[in-house]
Amino acid sequence: MFKSESDKTHATGRRALKNLILHNATYPILLERTIDKLYVAETAKSLESYIDVVSDIFMGEGTPAIPYYKIFSALLFILGNERSSIRRKSARLLRYLDEQEAKGSKLQDLDISISDKTTAVNKKAQFEISQRLALQHSEHAFSVFSEFSKHFNQLNADHKRNIVLALLPWMRTLELQLDPNGGPTGGSYMLLVNLLKMTMDQSANLNHEFQALWQALATGPHAGNVKLILDFIIDLCLQRRDEKLVPVSKQVVVFLSSTAAGQKVIESLILQIGPTTMWEDKPRAIHQPEDAAKFPFLADLTHATLESSNQVRLVLTYVPQLVNIS
């Protein structure tokens, strides 16, 4: 019904979808699928109908039983929509949800800017809204990133840039951590795998955008992120022993070396070249933490690279190529 150009048909469709969701509240998948449509609606008219239904449900009686980050991510994405009316509706629902959480992000200050027809003005407002929410809701940062990466590949280039713009403030709040076994925690593993896979697949067309994402992760308040990223990349190369990983690894190193922590990046890589690190009989294996699967999306790197049949154990195969970033 939302493919129709008829206003009457859309009104009927909105009532039908709303009733379907409300009278089947025990099946949250219906609302989740409707929220997913905010990313891939075929026309602006259908997108507006979907956002109307979602707004009516969230601002009605009761709180839908779906993860908080799921609706936040979708609304931040459509804040970059070309149509002013859609941006206003998205901002209105974001403000309502933020007030329900009693976070006080003061999103109403940006209502005029987000409605402005000038792209530079409304894009800046989109970034500012995302930044305020990222600071107030940082506990959802890993889930927001996973939700965005779930939808990333099915969007066109302009919409991917919308996601990157909305995602940058959240990247700066993320702290990568290690579990007691010395490997990345579930959230850190998910983020590194997803971001590495996205970089491998999309950076040829969105090089500056991925540079911004990696650098945001490295320039936030958590200084240990850079070392954990480098260790993860080196361990992944040693485990896979796949030459296809080297170009994307070099690319990430170049991104990181361009930040304020750039000199430490080079020093850390040089430390990998020495008598004690040039040969490892038992390289540090990367294992997927059990809690990594709890996030909305976890990329599978086995489809991105193929394990080499001629497995070389020398660190020399990889590290010098990473150091040679010129």
**Is this model's pTM higher than 0.85 or not?**
yes
Side-chain-side CA neighbours of residue 151 (13 Å): 27
SS3 percent helix, strand, coil of the chain, rounded to 5, is 65, 0, 35
Which pLDDT belongs to residue 221? Answer: 86
Q: Count of residues for the chain?
A: 326
pLDDT in tens, 221-274: 888 898 899 889 988 888 887 777 888 988 998 898 888 777 777 777 777 666
Pull the structure tokens for residue 288. Answer: 């997927």
Q: What is the mean pLDDT of residues 48-73?
A: 90
Scan for tokens 């490892």, then name that residue. 280
- 309 versus 137: the higher-pLDDT residue is 137
Mean pLDDT of the chain, nearest integer: 86
Task: Report residue 186 CA to chain centroid gap.
Answer: 15
Q: Which helix (H) or strand (E) holds 240?
A: helix 225-240
Token representation of residue 257: 């070396």
- Crossing angle between the packed helical segments 68-78 and 157-171, to the nearest 10 degrees: 130
Mean pLDDT lowest among 80-84, 124-128, 221-225, 266-270: 266-270
pLDDT of residue 282: 59
294 has a pLDDT exceeding 60? yes
Q: In this structure, what DSSP letter does residue 185 have?
A: P
Statement: residue 314 has pLDDT above 80: no
Distance between CA 146 and CA 300 in Å, rounded?
13
Whether the CB-CB separation of 126 and 80 falls below 8 Å is answered with yes
Query: Can you tell me which residue has the tokens 């965005």?
Result: 148
Range 132-162 burial, b when 16+ CB lie within 10 A, else e: bbbebbbebbbbbbbbbbbbbeebeeebbbb
Query: Among candidates 157, 158, 221, 218, which has minimal Cα distance to 191?
Result: 218
Spatial CA neighbour of 49 closest among 78, 69, 70, 26: 78
| pLDDT higher than 50, residue 281 | yes
- Token pair 């009516």: residue: 56
| Model confidence at 30: pLDDT above 60 | yes
Distance CA 31, CA 22 (A): 9
Distance separating alpha carbons of residues 230 and 224, to the nearest angstrom:
10
d(C-alpha 72, C-alpha 67), whole Å: 9
Q: Which pLDDT does position 93 carry in this prediction?
A: 94
Measured in Å, how far apart are the chain's first and last C-alpha atoms? 55
- CB atoms under 10 Å from CB of 31, counted, come to 24
Weakest-pLDDT range from 65-74, 109-118, 177-186, 241-250? 241-250
Q: What is the mean pLDDT of residues 150-154?
A: 94
Percentage of the residues of the chain whose pLDDT score is greater than 90: 59
DSSP-derived letter for residue 173 is T
Give the Cα separation of 61 and 84 in Å (integer): 27
Q: Which of 69-73, 301-305, 317-321 has the lowest mean pLDDT?
A: 317-321
- In sequence order, the β-bridge partners of residue 118 are none
Nearest to 95 by CA among 81, 119, 114: 114
